[in-house]
Amino acid sequence: MKQPASEAQQGGPDAAPADAAPVPLTKPAGRTPGGSGGRPPLGLRLDFRTLSLLGVLAALIVVGGITKPDQFLDTSNLQLVLTQASIIGVVTVGMTFVITSGGIDLSVGAIVALASVWATTLATQEYGFAGILFTAIIVGLACGLVNGVLIAYGGMAPFIATLAIMASARGLALQITDGNTQVVTLESVLDLGSRDSYILGVPPLVIIFAAVTVIGWLLLNRTTFGRRTVAVGGNAEATRLAGIDVRRQRLYLYLLSGLCCGIAAFMLIVLSGSGQNTNGNLYELDAIAAAIIGGTLLSGGRGTIVGSVLGVLIFTTITNIFALNNLQSDVQQIAKGAIIVAAVLVQRRTARNGEG
Amino acid sequence: MPETSRRGLLFGTAAIGAGALLTACTSNEKKDEPAANEQPVDDKPGKAVTIGFAGPQADHGWLAAINANARAQAKKYSDVTLDITEGSNDTAAQIGQIDSLINKKVDVLVILPADGKALTQAGLKAMRAGIPVINLDRIFADPQAFRCYVGGDNYGMGVNAGKYIGEKLKDKPNATVIELSGPDSLELTKQRTQGFDDALKNYPNIKKVARQAADFTVESGQAKMAQLLQAQSKFDALWNHDDDQGVGALRAIDQAGRDGFLMVGGAGAKSAMDAIKADNSVLKATVLYPPIMASTAIDLARALGQGKGVSGMAGLEIPAQVTLFSAVVDKDNVDEYLPQGFS
């Protein structure tokens, strides 16, 4: 990465010192949320957007607590909700970076499928725990690399390139498994998903999710890498003129998304004890939806890890409440759609008021 | 899936002498092999027959087993050539594949459509071209589109699962059962649930208290089962529609450290049968939706191609519909069925 000093000399969008706010100068100042001076538009500061998401989550918790008081507020249910959020959550963190840069990754679900079946097929007993973990991560990274090269250096639109990888990765996953489920019998892997391995009541998968979230937040909000991601999404041409290697940045972003998919694939193997070519089905849509209702702009230039994670938690909590109340999948899907619409409408309102 | 065929055709099925069928129909009869040739349809080499086979993409253990069974059965006959097209879940692609088989002038077509209704025209086209069609598993919308339908009994699966659970719990007052179904978007899921509910009506002491739909995948089975376990602190029996999602369901049960109930699976995967045999989990039985129906289809296609009836059955022609029986496999008979279990 280039040092900020040279950018400052060129007066590019990333001219500010490393610890200051990422303000994409190339965008109209009014479009920067909460764009008052140098305050970070993203991050831990509780802006109206984050507060509204927390409000939705709180409302859901109230609904869950009222409809099923004994079960919903139970510790084991909290563990369940967080565990169920953790895999798609890790994918969403990677997706948030890609969308913030103005891209999209439609291949995440397929990458999770390919990474999980490859890891469970090639790295079984002989390779052990590390074999499964590293195979999943390497396959994820390799898919991310292909995405990144096609998009950054091949000049393909992210939508098209990742769509192609989505198809190929699913096809490859199907070819590897021949439609069969690869069952994992390795105790060291399975144990990670069992109750005995909870640390102070927290499942290991949730700890991985939390770690990825914190690292993702730091990376997006406190590093040059993060500011460049925002800048590329805000105005790629201006960023390039500012002397930043936009192509390399894009490559890194799809690698990052692939890495997250590899980690998620490993987590899915732990949770389900198997690899199947249908794994990660529709993850791309869930991750995009969570990022968007979290407040990340689909057009790029603004991203929020906290919002994305809240988006994932909202979806998982809804599913949980519905299941506890024995509502069927049709109702769940309708409600999920309604929540997406409502969240985005609320945000548009607040954004407009904020910019007033 | 055929509403009409259910009962009458169980009779037809039972009457066919093929060993493969017999194994599926009569659970008390000892058989070593699923397709033991004790009472063959007629396995003396006859007129050479080319059978075209067009199926969907084998993205599920059951479909993979369908293909494997079709290949294995065709290989048994020296007079049969099997022409299998690449599987696809795309309607247009499958229509194209059927067209190519028609153009090749195969003698008989076996079609397992990705979507029965959508592929009806392709079936009609083949029939009009003079190629008899055996419609496997997912039924065409028009009876003119096939000469013979071969399928499983989804309603019967539900009934037999309900009966099995009912008999196990009939002496238990206020017993509760829960259901982990297949995808609600599929007709077969509704039939399985309907059969289950109908069977439970015979046991007034048993009440179904919860149902969640999974997607026939391990991942969804784990997630939905974890939710069900959270919602139901105590229940006596679980019916899970599909053994693939059952792998995930068993994992969720294990992770939650739950037992004290009876689980019945569906479809007949080898992993489920192994677990039933080992008898070390809550899984005590599975209700078949036997993929050996593909072997049946090949047998009937061969008979059609050679213009024969089926020995052991009255009549000169093969039947119009054959519905396989959804037997319950538990510890007592698992050894008989284990060779049929698909992975």
| In a shared domain, residues B119 and B173 | no
B203 Cβ contact partners less than 8 Å away, ≥ 6 residues apart: B166, B169, B170, B175
Distances in Å between the Cα of B313 and the Cα atoms of A34, A206, B15, B308 are: 81, 62, 6, 11
pTM score: 0.80
In a domain, residue B2? The reply is no
Q: Which residue has the tokens 């969403």?
A: A92
Do A323 and B212 meet the contact criterion of CB atoms below 8 Å apart? yes
* Assigned domain for B260 exists: yes
Please name the member of B64, B247, B256 whose beta carbon is closest to the beta carbon of A274: B247
Verify whether the Cβ–Cβ distance B251 to A277 is below 8 Å. Answer: no
Q: Are residues B181 and B222 in the same domain?
A: yes
Scanning A58-117 for CB atoms below 8 A from B yields 68, 71, 74, 76-77, 80, 83-84
pLDDT digits (tens, 9 = 90+) for B209-230: 999 999 999 999 999 999 999 9
B207 and B124 in a common domain: no
Residues of B in contact with A167 (CB under 8 A): none
Residue B140 lies in a domain: yes
Interface of B with A in 159-198 (CB under 8 A): 183-184
Residues B87 and B62 in one domain: yes
B132-154 tens-digit pLDDT: 999 999 999 999 999 999 999 99
Predicted pLDDT of residue B5: 45
User: Quick check: B14 contacting A, CB < 8 Å?
Assistant: no
A271 close to B (CB below 8 A): yes
Same domain? B110 vs B69 = yes
Q: Which domains does chain A have, with CATH numbers?
A: 42-355 (1.10.3470)
| pLDDT confidence tier of residue A51, bands split at 50, 70 and 90 | confident
Q: Which two tokens stand for residue B12?
A: 């037809």
DSSP code, position A299? T
Residues of A in contact with B209 (CB under 8 A): 326
Q: Does the beta carbon of B215 lie under 8 angstroms from any beta carbon of chain A?
A: yes
pLDDT at B158 over 90: yes
pLDDT tens track for A304-315: 999 999 999 999
B71 touches chain A (CB under 8 A): no
The reply to whether B281 and B191 lie within a common domain is yes
**Within-domain flag for B3:** no
**Percent residues over pLDDT 70 in chain A:** 83
Give the start-end residues of each E strand in chain B. Answer: 49-54, 80-84, 108-111, 133-136, 148-151, 175-181, 206-213, 237-240, 262-267, 283-288, 321-323, 328-330
Cα(A181)–Cα(B273) distance, integer angstroms: 15
Does residue B111 fall inside a structural domain?
yes
Q: Is B58 on the interface with A (CB under 8 A)?
A: yes
* Domain membership flag for residue B5: no
* Burial call A311-328: b when 16+ CB within 10 Å, e when fewer: bbbbbbbbbbbbbbbbee
**Residue A340 burial (CB count, 10 A):** 17
- Percent of all residues in chain B with a pLDDT value above 70, rounded to a whole number: 87
Task: Identify whether residues B243 and B334 lie together within a single domain.
Answer: yes
Same structural domain, B137 and B228? no
Chain B residue numbers touching A272 (CB-CB < 8 A)? 218-219, 221-222, 247-248, 251
Q: How confident is the model at residue A186, as a pLDDT? A: 87
What are the pLDDT digits (tens) for B296-327? 999 999 999 998 877 767 677 889 999 999 99
Question: Is pLDDT larger for residue A215 or for residue B5?
Answer: A215
Backbone φ and ψ of B286, nearest 5°: -140, 145
To the nearest whole angstrom, how far is the Cα of A58 from the nearest Cα of chain B? Answer: 20
Cβ of B213 within 8 Å of Cβ of A329? The answer is yes
Which of B102, B106, B110, B99 is closest to B55 using CA atoms? B110
DSSP state of B207: E
**CATH number for the domain harbouring residue B176:** 3.40.50.2300
Is B36 at the interface with chain A, CB within 8 A? no
Structural domain containing residue B138: 16-146+291-323
Residue B8 lies in a domain: no
Number of folded domains that form chain B: 2
List A183's β-bridge partners, or say none. A274
| pLDDT over threshold 60, residue B334 | yes
In a shared domain, residues B158 and B89:
no
